[in-house]
Amino acid sequence: MSYRVSLLPGDGIGPEVTDATLKVLEATGVKFDWVRHEYLGAAAVEKYGIPLPDHVIESIRETGIALKGPVTTPVGKGFKSVNVQLRQKLDLYANVRPCKSLPGIKTPFQNIDLLIFRENTEGLYSGLESYDERHDIADSIARISKAGSQRIIEFCFSYASTHNYKKVTVVHKANILKLTSGMFLKLAQDHALNYPGLEFNDRIIDNMCMQLVVRPWEYNCIVTTNLFGDILSDLAAGLVGGLGVVAGANIGAKYAVFEAVHGSAPDIAGQNKANPTALIRSSEMMLRHLGETKAADAIHDGLVDIYTEGKYLTGDQGGNVGTDEFARQLAIRVSNHL
């Protein structure tokens, strides 16, 4: 049997980390029938005139699942983020970003186990921006809905409870944003009553940033709105080894897209320097989603071996091994764990 999965390598370091991930997936022995789409973002604009062609969306609707590399978004101008569009068009409302210490990666804190549940379709990413030429005023609407908030909150609590996590923290700015953040907080507080076995608290976003860099071990599952979740997940990535090692999943009722937290890293693109661990761990999440637990465990154990040995590390982890060599070494260790 083979799994039909849409493959979107993206741009920047995307193609390099995708090649590395495919090498490691091959070592697990799980068979995939990849439906590959090379053109996204700027490359798709050049070829098709739009950054996210319909056939890519259709492909994911058909396969139900995608593995995706990063796609560059022009800053302050140009087309709307392909990443945001994909999440909205496929209604991938839950962005799950596990930031867990990996044995062997040296960081200021050990035993961090944070899981960020970011609302992925609304808030300040709704795309409701306008510019009033007469008064030179720019607006951006942070629209959130009760239903949209409820479903990510429910997703987080249900995940925490089935995976034996102890604690859920809702992160907000309800002191200032009384209607939007206020509604999100109230819904989380109400929902917490259904889970008496889970410890529950709330933190205001600015305080949460400070708490996470001082006593991160006090937190487990964090549920929050779109922008706060985006920022907190990069912060949390920094606690466990940086953007090179942190995975992510975008989950909806029908489809799932697995992609790393990091972007296209133009500063190191095309140089065989990128750490593919983040996308490899996203593929590990994909294997768990498919029920391929043994293969997923082999990837996890292989990564623990690599980082504990400390001989084959990419630049971001203080080594000088290339993306492809890292993948080759990891593939050997993954096979050993099957």
- Residues lying near ligand NAI in the complex (CB under 6 A) are found at 13, 17, 70-73, 83, 243-244, 259, 262-268, 274-275, 278, 316
> Closer to Mg ion at the Cβ: 259 or 305?
259
Query: Residue 331 Cβ, how far from ligand NAI at the closest point, in Å?
Result: 18
- Any contact of residue 11 with Mg ion (CB under 5 A)? no
Contact pick of 230, 259, 284, 316 for Mg ion (by CB under 5 A)? 230
Q: How many CA atoms lie within 13 A of 62 on its CB side?
A: 13
- Binds 148: which of Mg ion, ligand NAI, none (CB < 5-8 Å by kind): none
Q: 6 vs 181, which CB is nearer to ligand NAI? A: 6
Q: Where in the sequence numbering do the catalytic residues fall? A: 125, 173, 206, 230
State how far the Cα of 267 lies from the Cα of 271, in Å rounded to an integer.
9
Q: CA-to-CA distance for 226 and 183, rounded, in angstroms?
A: 14
C-beta of 279 vs 331, nearer to ligand NAI: 279
Taking phi first (over 0 means left), then psi (-120 to 50 degrees means alpha), and beta for anything else, what does residue 103 get? beta
For 179, 197, 212, 217, 224, the CA distances from 167, given in Å and listed in that order, are: 25, 9, 15, 11, 14
Instruction: Check if the beta carbon of residue 317 is closer than 8 Å to that of residue 241.
Output: yes
With a CB cutoff of 8 Å and minimum separation 6, the contacts of 122 are 143, 144, 145, 148, 149, 225, 226
Contact range with Mg ion by CB under 5 A, out of 97-105, 223-231, 242-250, 328-336: 223-231
230 makes contact, choosing from Mg ion, ligand NAI, none, with CB < 5 to 8 Å by partner type, with Mg ion
Query: Nearest residue to ligand NAI, using CB?
Result: 263
For ligand NAI, which is the closer residue by CB, 6 or 72? 72
